[in-house]
Structure 1
Amino acid sequence: MKKVVVVETLRLALEKKLYEAQAAADSARMDAIHEQSAAETQYDSLSIESGYLAEGQSERVEQAHFAINAFESVFKTDKISSVVEGALVKLSDEEGDLYWYFIGPTEGGLKVTISNTQILVLTLQSPLGQVLKGKQLDDEVEFDFNGSKQFFYIDEII
C-alpha cells in the first residue's frame, strides 16, 4: 500500500464531505428565506425550523473545514516508526485477516477503498486507537471488542 495514494484518497473524501455540507447548507438557507416558508399563522414554525436546519448545516461546513485543516498537518508526517497521528497501520488478527487504519486527528470512522482494500480512519481517542498509540512494528496488542479479547499484530507502519 502506498501512503501517498491513501493520503490523496482521504483528501478527496474530505473535500467531498465539505462539498456535500456546503450544498446542504445552501439548500437549507434558500428554504429558510423562501416565500413559502413565511409563517401564515402564529403556530406555523416552518421558517424557524428551516433557520435551525440552515444553522446546523453551516456548522457541518465549519467542521469539514476544520477536518481538512487538521488532516493537512498529519498528511505531511514523515518517517513514522510508531503509531501516531499520520500513520498508516496494517494489522492482522489471529485468523490472518488484515486491517488497514489511517490514524487521523478527526473523522474517525471515515472509510475509503483503494484497490478493494478498505482503509478506516481511526483516532487516537478511540478505544482501539488508545491501545495502538505508541506501539511499534511487530508489536502485538490486545483489544477488548464487545466483551471478547482480540489480538492484533502490527504488520506495517507507513
Structure 2
Amino acid sequence: MNKPLLLAQIVATLERDLDVLTRAAQTAYETATAEENVAENKYDTLGLEASYLATGQARRSAEIRQALLGYQQLLLRDYDPQRGVQVSNLITLEDEKGARQQLFLGPAAAGLKIAEGTQATTVITPRSPLGQQLIGKRVDDEVTLAAHTLVIVAAT
C-alpha cells in the first residue's frame, strides 16, 4: 500500500466517522432537551441518560476532529535509515513464525484499520507501547511486545 493512498483513506474514514458521530450526538441532544422527556419523577431518567450520551458523543467528536486535523496537516516522510522509524512511516513487522503485519505510525487514531484487498494496515501512535519501541528503530532491528519478538522487515 502506498502512503499517499493510505493517508487519503485514513482522512476519509475519519471524516465519515465524524459525520456519523456528529449526527448521533445531535439526535441524543434533541432527545435530552425534548419537552416530552422532562422527568416526571426521580425514576424517569430518559432525558438525563440522553444528556450523558450527548456529552460523551460530543467529546468523541472533538477527539476525531483533532485526529482529522492532525492527518490533514501530516507531511509524509520517507523512511530515513539514519533517523530510524518516525511518525508517517509505514512499517512491516514479522514475528518468529514468519507472520507479517503492516503498521502506520501516525499522530492519532490508534487502532484504526485500513484494508486494501486482503492486506490490512493498522494505525498506531508513538504513545502506544509498540509505537514507543519502534521510534528510532531501523530495518532488521527487533522489538519485543508481550513476549513476542518482532523484526522490522521494511519501512517506507
Task: Name the TM-score, length of structure 2 as normaliser.
Answer: 0.89
Aligned: 1:144 with 2:145: yes
- Contact residue 93 and residue 152 of structure 1 kept, 8 A: yes
- Distance across 1 between alignment mates of 2:86 and 2:108: 13
| C-alpha deviation, 1:85, in angstroms | 1.2
- Distance across 2 between alignment mates of 1:97 and 1:129: 19
- Match of 1:77? 76
- Distance across 2 between alignment mates of 1:58 and 1:30: 13
Q: Which runs of 5+ in 2 are unaligned?
A: none
| C-alpha deviation, 1:151, in angstroms | 2.3
| C-alpha deviation, 1:102, in angstroms | 0.6
Deviations, residues 26-72 of structure 1 (Å, cap 9, x unaligned) = 11011112232111224423222222221211111111110101122
Task: Name the TM-score, length of structure 1 as normaliser.
Answer: 0.88
| C-alpha deviation, 1:5, in angstroms | 1.6
* Structure 1 segments (4+ residues) deviating >4 Å: none
Q: Which runs of 5+ in 1 are unaligned?
A: none
- Distance across 2 between alignment mates of 1:79 and 1:2: 11
The 5-angstrom pairing of residues 2-151 of structure 1 reads 2-74=2-74, 76-81=75-80, 82-137=84-139, 139-145=140-146, 148=147, 150-151=148-149
- Distance across 2 between alignment mates of 1:83 and 1:19: 32
Q: Among the aligned pairs, what percent are the same residue?
A: 31
- Match of 2:153? 155
Over aligned residue pairs, what C-alpha RMSD do you find?
1.6
- Distance across 2 between alignment mates of 1:112 and 1:36: 42
Out of 21-30 and 37-46, give the one that drifted further. Answer: 37-46
Count of residue pairs brought into register by the alignment? 153
